[in-house]
Amino acid sequence: MKIVFLDQHSIGKDEINFCALRKLGTACRFYSETANNQVAERIANADIVIVNKVNLDAHQLQNAKHLKLVCIAATGTNNIDLAAAKKAKVQVCNIRNYATPSVVQHVFGLIFTLASRLQEHYSATRHGDWEKANQFCMLDYPYSELAGKTMGIIGYGTLGRAVAKATGCFDIKTLVANRPGDLKLKKNRVALEDTISDSDIITLHCPLAENTRQLVNRQFLQAMKPSAFLINTARGGLINEGDLAEALKNREIAGAGLDVLIKEPPDSQNILLNSNLKNLLITPHVAWASIESRQRLVDQLVVNINSYISGDLDNRLI
């Protein structure tokens, strides 16, 4: 089999072991990255194409005459024209449930940094404020414990459940929000509006869809406690960035920790990146990306391709 990986470096370089993946094909070509105008040529003779973030459109899929399988090296499928793949009789599979420990760790990393005001404490130490203090404990940045607080979880799939499980270590109460737009209250769920108003921390784990796009807007933020934190490791489009910037600036909420933005990579004019807000943390879409998580992703690619060879494709989408 001829296997082509179009964007290997979007998964990793020397820190990830790709040996087992390379051994699956008689002719493997791993490209560090691939521009859109290079795709057609690179997949022309491939039996299997692996992509993480590269787009495959109808024209490219239909003209890859040898192509039998597309392995998406991610869970999301928005970069593949699935209808065109089906029409071209190309099977498609993805990766599932590989990043849970990494995402949970990142969620709590954002929460701890905000709740314990670690940025301010670190900055004070680095810039010599502690050296000038009158006593050996600097109490300039008061903070509260997480114990006894309430976390609202919006989106209760694999990641939402894993975050809920971890809250027990810190004596945090959890509220699981009813699905946005769902008028019937499900068992063991809390109405969305009550989740928003009653939570000290709100963490988003829902997909981006019509009922969740810009879910966090002016109305949502005004309903939150002024002392509450907002965490988003899901999709940037869940938040109206202008409304969030305004709420943080006016201290309508205590802070926010984001790993995703609407446009990625962001441009230099992004309102949140240019806000200089001390109560905002932004990380560059890395919640999923621990070394262990990315290795699990590659290992699952191997399993998927072996399952295709045996005639029973794992994680099949088409």
Q: What is the pLDDT of residues 116-135, one digit of tens each?
A: 999 999 999 999 999 998 89
Q: Which of 33, 145, 193, 264 is catalytic?
A: 264
Q: What is the pLDDT of residues 223-249, one digit of tens each?
A: 999 999 999 999 999 999 999 999 999
The architecture of the domain spanning 2-96+291-310 is 3-Layer(aba) Sandwich (3.40)
So what's the pLDDT on residue 53? 95
**Nearest-angstrom CA–CA distance, 203 and 112:** 13
So what's the pLDDT on residue 122? 93
So what's the pLDDT on residue 89? 96
The architecture of the domain spanning 100-282 is 3-Layer(aba) Sandwich (3.40)
pTM: 0.93
Where in the chain do CATH 3.40.50.720 domains reside?
2-96+291-310, 100-282
Q: Which of 161, 218, 285, 316 is catalytic?
A: 285
Q: Please, which pLDDT band fits residue 190 given cuts at 50, 70 and 90?
A: very high
Q: Please, which pLDDT band fits residue 26 given cuts at 50, 70 and 90?
A: confident
Is residue 285 annotated as part of the catalytic site, yes or no? yes
So what's the pLDDT on residue 98? 97
Please report, for residues 92, 234, 273, the alpha-carbon distance to residue 70 in angstroms, rounded to integers and kept in the order given: 5, 24, 35
Q: What is the pLDDT of residues 43-54, one digit of tens each?
A: 999 999 999 999
So what's the pLDDT on residue 119? 93
Q: Please, which pLDDT band fits residue 97 given cuts at 50, 70 and 90?
A: very high
Asked if the model's pLDDT at residue 27 lies above 90, the reply is no
Q: What percent of the chain has pLDDT over 70?
A: 100
Q: Among 58, 26, 20, 21, which Cα is nearest to 39's?
A: 58
How many CA atoms within 13 Å lie on the side-chain side of 302? Answer: 14
**Nearest-angstrom CA–CA distance, 237 and 244:** 12
Is residue 264 annotated as part of the catalytic site, yes or no? yes
Residues whose CB is less than 8 angstroms from the CB of residue 38 and which lie 6 or more positions away in sequence, other chains included: none
So what's the pLDDT on residue 85? 97
Tokens representing residue 147 in the block: 């114990």
Q: Which of 42, 106, 235, 296 is catalytic?
A: 235
Q: Please, which pLDDT band fits residue 183 given cuts at 50, 70 and 90?
A: confident
Alpha-helix runs per DSSP H in 49-99: 58-63, 82-87
Asked if the model's pLDDT at residue 25 lies above 90, the reply is no
Longest dimension (CA), the chain: 75
Q: Among 309, 286, 257, which Cα is nearest to 99's?
A: 286
Helices (H) and strands (E) in the chain, counts: 11, 11
**Mean pLDDT over all residues of the chain?**
96
Is residue 205 annotated as part of the catalytic site, yes or no? no
As a whole number, mean pLDDT of residues 31-56 equals 97
What is the phi/psi pair of residue 87, to 5°? -65, -35
